[in-house]
Structure 1
């Protein structure tokens, strides 16, 4: 499955909705056992949440948007399918979250292809379930440091800390992802799926219990004047960089 929402595969509401529906279809079609997630946009896997969806909109829109972000993670994190992330570009913030939600991560060896949950750099806080997903991958102390500093890891650093499983030359990302997929497919589905559920269900249940409260927290946080101003400044700076 190739993400194609140029220029940077940001997770707009429309893109999120399409992605969720596509994943549901694959999940429900028993002829599919695994999916490789990758990008069709050069140099970027996904830049994460679409700031345009969080800036200058009404409260109902913020709530709808955040519910879709939650839904995507729930679809990915407990999917019955084998999910392999073929990360062929930069993967900050929610782009990183998507790859962390997969079963295995292969990252292209390019210093520009940084990965991490860098929310604090934008003056926002990674939600608890982003944090839980990272803790489950790289451990508590490494997560604490990465989240507070908003670190973006180079491929070598990401491999060292355990954020990705393999770093390979750019032209080998797809072939490596497919050979990894074959290895995971060799395991009987029911045993693998039950094991995955055992490992991940508590993390998912934590969000499901708090889902409405998490939406309310997001809406009240994102609609604050100070947060809206800092997002507008960030978007303005981005536009200036482009021009």
Structure 2
């Protein structure tokens, strides 16, 4: 792990993961993704961690997107590999047994919006801005944005955001279901609220939390009937 990703353990049970490239608005490149992957392994191996908060360093950005300077040098095969790498790491976040909360401060654009969507819950400052602006660069979201955005806000709104590349406010994000909670703007407000929520989630029974996450995740890709069957099976696991 490098200093590109900071890992802190709060009160023994909450892991705070900080994307630490404030000079680049916490943009994601290969090295950042590799460091994030290593941190996720540490979290998976630490059985005392019951909840995770992911945030970006500084107040200007959660993550302002992928590193454009690095991306514009990529050949198609490299771009596909970069996309698959991001998708796999973000899926690891989604599949963690622990509850994961995004603390969104400032810009959450492109890969940053996709990272936030990979978390279970999202808490944002009222000055946060969300968007998938890739279309303006002649590309499309590559870290799961075309999939997760539709499932969170519905196909019509997802198409609008992806096809126009427009940013939306935290207030709009709350209204359409992209975020769960909005807090007043101010230094550390989103992080403080996210940590408080994570502490609340960490106090829940760990096995039930992991099963609840798995049950809601598994129901995405199947029929209603199959989802109901899977829910019953997961429900039985809690007894």
- TM-score, length of structure 2 as denominator length: 0.77
Instruction: Determine if contact 1:74/1:204 at 8 Å carries over to the other structure.
Output: no
RMSD: 2.2
- Cα separation, 2, equivalents of 1:176 and 1:141: 30
For residue 106 of structure 1, give the secondary structure of its aligned residue in structure 2. strand
Alignment of 1:214-229 (within 5 A): none
Render the CA deviation track for 1:127-156: whole Å, top value 9, x for unaligned: 593222112212222222222222311111
Change (3 A) 1:136 1:22: same
Residue 19 (structure 2) pairs with residue 3 (structure 1) = yes
- Cα separation, 2, equivalents of 1:202 and 1:61: 32
Change (3 A) 1:86 1:60: same
- TM-score, length of structure 1 as denominator length: 0.76
Deviation at 1:65? 2.4
Deviation at 1:59? 5.2
For residue 42 of structure 1, give the secondary structure of its aligned residue in structure 2. coil
Q: Larger RCO: Structure 1 or Structure 2 (Cα < 8 Å, ≥ 6 residues apart)?
A: 1
Change (3 A) 1:67 1:129: closer
Alignment of 1:57-72 (within 5 A): 57-58=74-75, 61-72=78-89
Q: Which runs of 5+ in 1 are unaligned?
A: 206-243
Change (3 A) 1:33 1:103: same
Instruction: Determine if contact 2:111/2:143 at 8 Å carries over to the other structure.
Output: no
Structure that is richer in helix per residue: 1
Instruction: Determine if contact 2:98/2:209 at 8 Å carries over to the other structure.
Output: no
Deviation at 1:96? 0.4
Q: How many positions carry a matched residue from both structures?
A: 203
- Cα separation, 1, equivalents of 2:32 and 2:142: 21
Q: Which runs of 5+ in 2 are unaligned?
A: 1-16, 223-239
Deviation at 1:175? 2.1
4+ long deviations beyond 4 Å: 202-205
